[in-house]
Amino acid sequence: MLTTIISTIIVLGILVFVHELGHFLLAKRLGVGVLTFSLGFGPKILGRKIGETNYQIAMVPLGGFVKLIGENPEERVKEEDLSRSFSHQPVWKRALIIAAGPFFNFFLAVVLFSTTNLFGIPYSPPKVGEVNPGLPAESAGLLKGDLILSINGQDLKTWEDLSRIIRGSQGKELHLKVKRAEEILEFRVFPKPSTVKNLFGEEVSTFVIGITHSGEVLIEKVNPLVAIGSGFVQTYQGIKLTIVGIIKLIQRVIPAKTIGGPILIAQMAGEQAKRGLLSLVLFTAILSINLGVINLFPIPILDGGHFIFLILEAILRKPISIRKMEIAQQVGLILIILLMLFAFYNDLIRIITPEGRFDF
C-alpha cells in the first residue's frame, strides 16, 4: 500500500511538473510574466515567492497550473506590465506557450525511453514457442524451439520481422531457413488465411502458418545515438497508438469500461514499482504521452480548447468575446468533470467486480 501511494505521488508529480514547466519556461522565454507556478489545486500546503512568481504545492495533487500576467483578458494589468501580459501577445506567441505543456510531456517520454534504451533494447527473437496442430507449420515440419533465421533470403532479427512477412505474404510460398540445435534446415510453407483479433479487439483478416513465439526476450546493447533515436520512434509510436485508441473508443470498438481514473493509475503505478524501477520509468513515459495527447483535445479549459480559441481569433481577426469563452469553458469543465466521474465509477466497479461488471 505504501509503495502504491509513494509511486503514484512520484509519477503524477513528475508528469504535472514537466507539463507546467513547459508553459512556464516558454512564457518566461517569450517575455510573459508568471505570477504562480502550482503543483496541485486548492489550498496551498507550502510555497515561496521568488521574484514575481509564487511557487507552491497545493492540497489536491491531480493537476497543476501556471498563472500568467494578463491571462484573463478582463484582468486589470498595470501599465508597465502590458508588454508582459499574455492576452497582449500575438497569436503565435500564445499558441507556443500553450503548446509547450503537451510538448514537454512528449519530450519527457523521449528522455525516459532513451534513458532505458541505454541499458539495452529488449526484443523477442524469431523463435518458435508452440506449433498449432493442423496448420501449415506443423505440416511443413517445424518444431518447438526452432529459430527461424530467414524467410525468402531475408534475414530475421525479431519476432515482429517474422510476423510482418507472414502477414503480408498473401498466401504465397515462403522459404524458411531454420536453426534446430546445431543444424541448419530449410522448409517450405504456404501461409493460410485466417481471422484474428488485433490489439483493439477487432477481427482482421491476415495470413498465419500456425506458430506462437517462445516468449524469450533478449537485450541488445546499443550506442547512445541509437538509444536516443529509438526513444523518438517509441514516443511517436506511443502517440500514434494513443490517438488510434481514442478513436476506437469513440467508435465503441474499445468498450467505455476500459477508461480508468486516479485509482487505476495508482494501482498500475504500484504494480510497476513492485516490478522494478525500469518498469515504473516506462509506465511514466507511456502515461506522459497519454497526458500530452489528452491535453490537446479540442475541449475548452484544456490546451487544445485554447488552441481552438486562438484559431478562431486568427480567422476572425479579433479575440473571441469573454462571454462566449466563459460559456465554452463552463461546458468544457462539465465535460471533464463528467469524464472524471465516469472514470472514477469504472475504477470502483473494477474493485467491486474484477471483471468490470456488476454481478446479479
Write out the catalytic residue numbers: 20
Query: Which H or E run includes 45?
Result: strand 34-50
The residue to which cell 503524477 is assigned: 12
Phi, psi for 267 (deg, rounded to 5): -60, -45
Q: Which three cell numbers stand for residue 235?
A: 514516443
113 within 8 A of 230, measured Cβ to Cβ: yes
For β-strands 183-189 and 121-123, DSSP reports them as unpaired
Question: CA–CA distance from 160 to each of 58, 156, 234 (Å)?
Answer: 46, 9, 15
- Is the CB of residue 263 less than 8 Å from the CB of residue 344? yes
Query: Judging by beta carbons within 10 Å of its beta carbon (0-12, 13-18, 19+), is residue 310 exposed, middle or buried?
Result: middle
Rounded to the nearest angstrom, the gap between the alpha carbon of residue 317 and the centroid of all alpha carbons in its chain is 35
For residues 339 and 158, give the distance between their C-alpha atoms in angstroms, rounded to a whole number. 40
